[in-house]
Chains A and B, each alone.
Chain A
Amino acid sequence: MKSEKQKIALLSLAEVIIPSLQTRPMVKEKLWENFCYFLGDMDTNSQKKIQLLLFALKILSVLRYGRSYPKMNFSQRERFFLWLLHFPIALIVAGATGLKSLIYVSYYSLDESWENIDYQGPLVQRELQKELQRETK
Chain B
Amino acid sequence: MKLKDCYDVVVIGSGAGGGTAAEIFSRYVEKGLSVLVLEGGPFWKKENFNQKERDMSRIYFNRGAIFSKRLNIAVAAGRVVGGSTAVYTGVSFRPPEEVWQKWKKDYGLDFFNADFVQDTLDEIEEMIHVAEPPPSWDNDNNRLFREGCEKLDIPVKRLRLNLKGCQQQGLCNLGCTSGGKQGTLEVQIPLALSRGIELVHNAWVDHITPEEVVFSVKPAWPFTEANVLPEGNYKVKAKNIVLAAGSLHTPPLLLRSQKYLRTSPKNIGRYLTLHPAFNVNAIYPQVIKNDRGFPKTYYSDAFSDSEGYYLETSFYFPGVTAKNIPHMGKSHEEMMKKYRQMMSILLLSHDPARFYNRVKIDRRGNTVLDYRVDEEVQNSLIQGLRRAAAVFLAAGCEEMVFPACQKEKITPADAKNLDKLISKRYLNLIKTPLSSAHPQGGARMGADPKKSVVSPEGKLHNHDNIFIADASLFPTSVKVNPYETVMLLSHYVAKQVVKRAWGG
A residues with a Cβ closer than 8 A to B are 16-20, 34, 37-38, 41-43, 45-46, 78, 81, 85, 90-91, 93-95, 97-98, 100-101, 104-110, 113-114, 116-124, 126, 128-129, 131-132, 135
Determine which of A17, A42, A107, A132 lies in contact with B50 in the assembled complex, contact meaning CB atoms within 8 Å: A132
Residue pair B366, A108 in contact (C-beta under 8 Å) = no
Task: Name the residue on B nearest A96 (C-beta).
Answer: B431
Residue pair A20, B333 in contact (C-beta under 8 Å) = yes
Asked if B125 CB lies within 8 Å of chain A CBs, one says: no
Task: Name the residue on B nearest A94 (C-beta).
Answer: B71
> Which of B20-28, B52-60, B483-491 is near enough to bind chain A?
B52-60
> Which of B322-330, B344-352, B383-391 is near enough to bind chain A?
B322-330
A-B CB contact pairs (8 Å), 22 listed: A17-B332, A18-B332, A19-B329, A19-B330, A37-B54, A45-B366, A91-B71, A94-B70, A94-B430, A100-B328, A104-B323, A108-B321, A109-B317, A114-B318, A117-B318, A117-B337, A117-B340, A118-B339, A120-B291, A123-B171, A124-B177, A128-B48
Task: Name the residue on A nearest B342 (C-beta).
Answer: A117
Residue pair A101, B323 in contact (C-beta under 8 Å) = yes
B residues with a Cβ closer than 8 A to A are 48-55, 57-58, 62-63, 65, 67, 70-71, 169, 171, 177, 222-223, 291, 317-323, 328-330, 332-333, 336-340, 362, 366, 430-433
Residue pair B430, A119 in contact (C-beta under 8 Å) = no
Task: Name the residue on A nearest B170 (C-beta).
Answer: A123
Task: Name the residue on A nearest B52 (C-beta).
Answer: A122
B319 surroundings in chain A (CB, below 8 A): 104-109
Decide: A132 near B55, CB < 8 A? Known: A97-B431, A113-B318. yes
Task: Name the residue on B nearest A45 (C-beta).
Answer: B366
Q: How far is the CA of A18 from the CA of B53 in the complex (A)?
A: 19
A106 surroundings in chain B (CB, below 8 A): 319
Task: Name the residue on B nearest A100 (C-beta).
Answer: B328
Chain B proximity of A123: nearest CB distance (Å): 5
Residue pair A132, B223 in contact (C-beta under 8 Å) = yes
Decide: A78 near B67, CB < 8 A? Known: A85-B431, A93-B431, A131-B222. no
Q: How far is the CA of A45 from the CA of B58 in the complex (A)?
A: 17
Residue pair B52, A46 in contact (C-beta under 8 Å) = no
Residue pair B328, A17 in contact (C-beta under 8 Å) = yes
Q: Interface SS of chain A: helix, strand, loop or mixed? A: helix
B223 surroundings in chain A (CB, below 8 A): 128, 131-132
Q: How far is the CA of A119 from the CA of B338 in the complex (A)?
A: 10
Q: How far is the CA of A106 from the CA of B430 in the complex (A)?
A: 21
Residue pair B318, A38 in contact (C-beta under 8 Å) = no
Decide: A43 near B328, CB < 8 A? Known: A38-B63, A119-B339. no
Residue pair B62, A46 in contact (C-beta under 8 Å) = yes
Chain B proximity of A80: nearest CB distance (Å): 13
B317 surroundings in chain A (CB, below 8 A): 109, 119
Q: How far is the CA of A43 from the CA of B66 in the complex (A)?
A: 9
Determine which of B50, B67, B333, B430 lies in contact with A93 in the assembled complex, contact meaning CB atoms within 8 Å: B430
Determine which of B53, B65, B70, B338 lies in contact with A109 in the assembled complex, contact meaning CB atoms within 8 Å: B53
Residue pair B63, A41 in contact (C-beta under 8 Å) = yes
The 7 closest A-B CB pairs, nearest first, are A122-B51, A94-B71, A108-B318, A104-B322, A105-B319, A109-B53, A117-B339
Residue pair B333, A19 in contact (C-beta under 8 Å) = yes
Residue pair B333, A34 in contact (C-beta under 8 Å) = no
Residue pair B50, A126 in contact (C-beta under 8 Å) = yes
Determine which of A97, A101, A110, A114 lies in contact with B430 in the assembled complex, contact meaning CB atoms within 8 Å: A97
A81, A95, A105, A135, most chain B CB atoms within 10 A: A105
Q: How far is the CA of A117 from the CA of B318 in the complex (A)?
A: 9
Task: Name the residue on A nearest B169 (C-beta).
Answer: A123
Q: How far is the CA of A128 from the CA of B48 in the complex (A)?
A: 7
Q: How far is the CA of A81 from the CA of B314 in the complex (A)?
A: 31
Q: How far is the CA of A74 from the CA of B169 in the complex (A)?
A: 40
Q: How far is the CA of A7 from the CA of B70 in the complex (A)?
A: 27
Task: Name the residue on A nearest B433 (C-beta).
Answer: A97
Decide: A90 near B330, CB < 8 A? Known: A104-B322, A113-B318, A132-B223. no
Chain A proximity of B239: nearest CB distance (Å): 34
Q: How far is the CA of A124 from the CA of B70 in the complex (A)?
A: 39
Residue pair A105, B53 in contact (C-beta under 8 Å) = yes
B339 surroundings in chain A (CB, below 8 A): 117-119
B222 surroundings in chain A (CB, below 8 A): 131-132, 135
Residue pair B55, A129 in contact (C-beta under 8 Å) = yes
Chain B proximity of A72: nearest CB distance (Å): 15
Chain B proximity of A52: nearest CB distance (Å): 13
Q: How far is the CA of A136 from the CA of B340 in the complex (A)?
A: 30
Q: How far is the CA of A123 from the CA of B71 in the complex (A)?
A: 34
B62, B291, B333, B338, most chain A CB atoms within 10 A: B333
B58 surroundings in chain A (CB, below 8 A): 41
Residue pair A107, B430 in contact (C-beta under 8 Å) = no
Residue pair A119, B50 in contact (C-beta under 8 Å) = no
B322 surroundings in chain A (CB, below 8 A): 104-105, 107-108
Decide: A98 near B71, CB < 8 A? Known: A104-B323, A119-B339, A132-B50. yes
B54 surroundings in chain A (CB, below 8 A): 34, 37-38, 109-110
Residue pair A123, B51 in contact (C-beta under 8 Å) = yes
Q: How far is the CA of A44 from the CA of B57 in the complex (A)?
A: 17
Chain A proximity of B74: nearest CB distance (Å): 9
Determine which of B171, B336, B430, B432 lies in contact with A122 in the assembled complex, contact meaning CB atoms within 8 Å: B171
Q: How far is the CA of A91 from the CA of B366 in the complex (A)?
A: 20
A128 surroundings in chain B (CB, below 8 A): 48, 50, 55, 223
Residue pair A17, B48 in contact (C-beta under 8 Å) = no
Residue pair B323, A105 in contact (C-beta under 8 Å) = yes
Q: How far is the CA of A109 from the CA of B222 in the complex (A)?
A: 20
Determine which of B50, B65, B336, B433 lies in contact with A124 in the assembled complex, contact meaning CB atoms within 8 Å: B50
